[in-house]
Amino acid sequence: MSDVVVAEIRLAPSAEQDQILAHLQKIDPIVLDVPNEADALAQRFIDEGVLPARRMDDARHVACAMAHDLDLLVSWNYRHIANVTKAEAFNAVAVLSGWPGNLAIHTRLEVLEWE
């Protein structure tokens, strides 16, 4: 989980925030920082039109996963992150930016089917 997710949780209404934090306490996820190179890659996603500027946090989610060399990003965000077209675009821009561009992006439901 990235620092971006932590910041988003803090924006949730307090009742929802409490629920989310209680669940997170049970699973104790690792929280990844968003390094400067991830912010630069996120900006490139915006500049190349993969996402509109107002979706910078979504771009940072993907860039953070790439910067930490993760194989898989799981997201609920079907429109801006977890769909085939976007995944291909993120990876293409990453390759053009000198990154490996091999991040798989799936929905929670897809991952649950793998069990």
Split into its structural domains, the chain has a count of 1
Q: What is the mean pLDDT of each run of 10 residues along the chain (115 residues)?
A: 88 92 89 93 98 96 96 92 96 96 92 72
Is residue 2 domain-resident?
A: no
Is residue 54 domain-resident?
A: yes
Residue pair 111/74 in contact (Cβ under 8 Å)? The answer is yes
Q: What is the pLDDT of residue 4?
A: 87
Is residue 6 domain-resident?
A: no
Tokens of 18: 């409490």
Q: What is the pLDDT of residue 74?
A: 92
Q: What is the pLDDT of residue 114?
A: 66
Is residue 16 domain-resident?
A: no
Helices 56-67 and 3-11 pack at an angle, to 10 degrees, of 150
Is residue 45 domain-resident?
A: yes
Q: What is the pLDDT of residue 63?
A: 97
